Amino acid sequence: MNPPATAPSSTPASTPATATEKPALVAATLRDTVAAFAVIEAKIKLGGGQAAIDRQHDKGRLTARERVAKLIDPGTVFQEYGLWTAYGMYREYGGAPAAGVVTGVGVVQGRACMIIANDATVKAGAFFPMTCKKIIRAQVMAQMARLPLIYLVDSAGVFLPLQEDVFPDADDFGRIFRNNAVISAEGIPQIAAIMGSCVAGGGYLPVLCDTLLMTEGSGLYLAGQALVKAAIGQTVTDEELGGAAMHSGISGTVDFREVDDDACLTRLRNLVGKYPPPSAMTSMYPNAATSKGPSAARDGHDVYSVYSDKPGAQFDIREVISCFVDSRLETVNGEQKLAMDFDEYKAEYGQTLVCGYARIAGIPCGIVANQKKLVQRTVAGGGGGTGPKVSAQMPGVIYDDSADKSARFIMDCNQRKIPLVFLHDTTGFMVGRDSEQGGIIRAGAKMVNAMSNCIVPKIVLILGASYGAGNYAMCGRAFDQFIALAWPGSRCAVMGANQATGVLAMIEEKSRERKGEKIDETTHKEILAAVHASYSEQQDIRYGAARGCVDRIIEPHKTREELAFALKAAVANWDFSRPFKTGVIQT
């Protein structure tokens, strides 16, 4: 959750975050929640712990985070993705902090690159199921934005106790190698550096890249000494099987043999510097990397005073937006005043969704945001001379008019070729007779259609709740997000815990009654409490982040910096040439 801050560094010695650690209790304020998350993140960044870090250093090798810090340009930032991956998972194996791999975007020789670095301090960098999912996600992001990929390989291969969940399926280990081949065919640069172990099937990853480096003392082979001896009775040394000298001078597999990590990282930087820059002819935003824009109209810390995550609390989402979009001067009563650079689209119609054109760090974008205050809707009256009717619309709920408005806005952003930013704080679509007769399903389908067929980058930020079909319509995980960010304390599930608890408790009670158990008041309360606790844990944003449904949890007051970094990474070499089409759409 650290902002795109300076390059990652080794965390001070402490107890590593383990999979047995229970999620922290919900704090009293958003600031408290942010602080509680930061403490856990510091532990996660220790990987396998200080003892494992010391063992890596004893081998003359850097840790994954130290390698990333030396690889990226001095003074630049590294936006890490998937830090919370596998949080609370694999408890029976001692946990796998960050799934044993570091992924994120950093600037190398002035160019944004996707970096994937195995963390050898976590089970020797072995691949857990979530390790595969995390790496595949990084590859997909790089493919979407045509970002060069740099792999820092230091892995013992598949984590054998869980091989059945790592090896066979379409979105498992093999998908990584398939992606290597496809990404290369698309002309997206890939460089791999073997800086430790690279064994068994994992050996294909670096060899499928365009350029391959290897440090002395590292190993690249399909089978180690013991397996070779058992399989064919041959006695060989590690160097003969897959040492750097052998692959450099005999097999010809390695392009560059380097003496140690520092020399390897220097060579990597030199090689990246010799790629041609993204063509200004193919990029809509050739100056995105250096774009800054004016400051925001409000200080980022103001978000803590204008936003509320308390149940039933209302606030104007425009006040939150003003904390991170660029500012502009406006003349009011003859005086120039600083205001947010936000042109609201159809401001008086479909008001439970706020849509508008803005700039963030100088990059134009469209914003679609759930409004969190009560608004009024005016509709035409019926016959007999009755005038317009006014009705209230609830905060955070998507109605047919707001869905219709946002669909048209999304289509216009695609016509303009500008990225879309979705701000989630929704309980879903409106239900009931009036809503159904008003065409809520038709309007919602129109919004989903337009959003699904976007050809521009889609960036998501979950502020509070993101429930049910509201999550889908606001560009949920299944809808080709470029990146999904979230604030600490946010929630994502099919519905809220309070709504779900009654339904799930009733199902549990009926099941027990069928087995002959009598449900008295005490048992009823125990079931309700247990179900509520379980569901609350599952809707916690950390639960989703652990399973790869969120890329990064951020500090709210750093929202502007986070969105600016994501936008710059997305648009610098994005292919905007594809035609925008929706097919058959509800009208």
% of the chain beyond a pLDDT of 70: 92
Q: Are 77 and 196 in the same domain?
A: yes
Mean pLDDT confidence for 82-111: 97
The answer to whether the Cα torsion of 343, 348, 352, 353 is positive or negative is: negative
Domain boundary (481, 507, 524) is at 481
Q: Is residue 471 assigned to a domain?
A: yes
Given pLDDT bands bounded at 50, 70 and 90, which one contains residue 16? Answer: low
Q: Is residue 10 assigned to a domain?
A: no
Give me the pLDDT at residue 203, please: 83
Q: Are 329 and 207 in the same domain?
A: no
pLDDT digits (tens, 9 = 90+) for 513-537: 899 888 888 888 888 888 888 888 8
Is the pLDDT at 4 greater than 80? The verdict is: no
Distances (CA, A) of 11 to 76, 80, 102: 18, 15, 14
Q: Return the closest-CA partner of residue 554 out of 25, 38, 8, 22.
A: 38
Q: Are 322 and 457 in the same domain?
A: yes
Give me the pLDDT at residue 20, please: 41
Is the pLDDT at 282 greater than 70? The verdict is: no
Is the pLDDT at 8 greater than 80? The verdict is: no
Q: Is residue 108 assigned to a domain?
A: yes
Q: Are 446 and 500 in the same domain?
A: no
Report the alpha-carbon distance of residue 577 to residue 587 in Å, rounded.
Answer: 27
Q: Is residue 182 assigned to a domain?
A: yes
Q: Could you please report the per-residue DSSP string of 280-319?
A: TTT-S-TTGGG---SPBSS-GGGHHHH---STT--B-HHH
Give me the pLDDT at residue 17, please: 57
% of the chain beyond a pLDDT of 90: 73
Q: Return the closest-CA partner of residue 313 out of 214, 251, 245, 396.
A: 396
Residue 291 CB neighbour total at 10 angstroms:
18
Give me the pLDDT at residue 22, please: 44
What average pLDDT is seen over the chain?
A: 91
Q: Are 366 and 222 in the same domain?
A: no
Report the alpha-carbon distance of residue 507 to residue 509 in Å, rounded.
Answer: 5
Give me the pLDDT at residue 19, please: 43
Q: Could you please report the per-residue DSSP string of 368-409?
A: EEE-BS-EEEEE---STT---EEEEE-TTEE-HHHHHHHHHH
Q: Are 269 and 298 in the same domain?
A: no
Give me the pLDDT at residue 196, please: 95
Domain boundary (219, 242, 273) is at 273
Is the pLDDT at 278 greater than 90? The verdict is: no
| CATH value at residue 335 | 3.90.226.10
Q: Where on the phi/psi map is residue 390: left (φ > 0), alpha (ψ -120 to 50), or beta?
A: beta
Report the alpha-carbon distance of residue 197 to residue 502 in Å, rounded.
Answer: 51
| Better-predicted residue by pLDDT, 483 or 276 | 483
Q: Is residue 62 assigned to a domain?
A: yes
Q: Are 447 and 503 in the same domain?
A: no
Number of domains comprising the chain: 3
Tokens of 369: 């945001």
3-state secondary structure of 508: helix
- The pTM of the full predicted model, rounded to 2 decimals, is 0.91
Give me the pLDDT at residue 293, please: 74
Distances (CA, A) of 34 to 75, 86, 151, 306, 423: 25, 20, 31, 16, 19
Give me the pLDDT at residue 497, please: 80
Is the pLDDT at 179 greater than 50? The verdict is: yes
Report whether 226 contacts 174 (CB < 8 A).
Answer: no
Given pLDDT bands bounded at 50, 70 and 90, which one contains residue 495? Answer: confident
Give me the pLDDT at residue 580, please: 96
3-state secondary structure of 337: strand
Mean pLDDT confidence for 440-454: 96
Q: Are 200 and 346 in the same domain?
A: no
**250 DSSP 8-state letter:** T
Q: Is residue 1 assigned to a domain?
A: no
Q: Are 243 and 355 in the same domain?
A: no
Report the alpha-carbon distance of residue 201 to residue 223 in Å, rounded.
Answer: 9
Q: Is residue 525 assigned to a domain?
A: yes
Q: Are 228 and 145 in the same domain?
A: yes
Q: Return the closest-CA partner of residue 217 out of 188, 190, 246.
A: 246
Q: Are 263 and 396 in the same domain?
A: no
Q: Residue 357 sits in which domain range?
A: 289-481
Sequence-ordered strand ranges (E) for 119-258: 149-155, 190-199, 211-215, 219-221, 256-258
Q: Are 253 and 131 in the same domain?
A: yes
Could you identify the residue written with the tokens 């040394």?
237
Given pLDDT bands bounded at 50, 70 and 90, which one contains residue 283? Answer: low
Domain boundary (220, 246, 273) is at 273
Is the pLDDT at 40 greater than 90? The verdict is: yes
pLDDT digits (tens, 9 = 90+) for 298-320: 999 999 999 998 888 999 999 99
Is the pLDDT at 24 greater than 90? The verdict is: no
Give me the pLDDT at residue 385, please: 63
Report whether 148 contacts 191 (CB < 8 A).
Answer: yes
Give me the pLDDT at residue 281, please: 37
3-state secondary structure of 489: coil
Q: Is residue 584 assigned to a domain?
A: no
